[in-house]
Amino acid sequence: MSVFDLKYLIVVLISIDIILLAVCVFLILKIRLIPKTEVFERGIKLFESMLGDADEVSEQFQEQIRIKYSLIKKLSEQLDSRIDRLNILLNRVGILLSDNEAAPLSNPPAGSIIHRQNEILELAEKGCSVEEIADRLLISKGEIKLILDLNDKNNRTQDSRGVS
Q: What is the pLDDT of residues 56-97, one digit of tens each?
A: 988 998 999 999 999 999 999 998 888 888 888 887 777 777
- What's the pTM value of the predicted model, to 2 decimals? 0.36
pLDDT-derived band at 47 (thresholds 50, 70, 90) equals confident
Of the CA atoms within 13 Å of residue 98, those in its CB half-sphere come to 6
Q: What share of the chain is helix, strand, coil (3-state, %, to 5)?
A: 85, 0, 15
Residue 116 has a pLDDT of 85
| Interacting residues of 145 by C-beta distance below 8 A, sequence separation 6+ | 130
Residues 19 and 41: their CA atoms lie apart, in Å, by: 35
How many C-beta atoms lie closer than 10 Å to residue 133's C-beta? 23
In order of start, what are the domains of the chain with their CATH numbers?
103-164 (1.10.10)
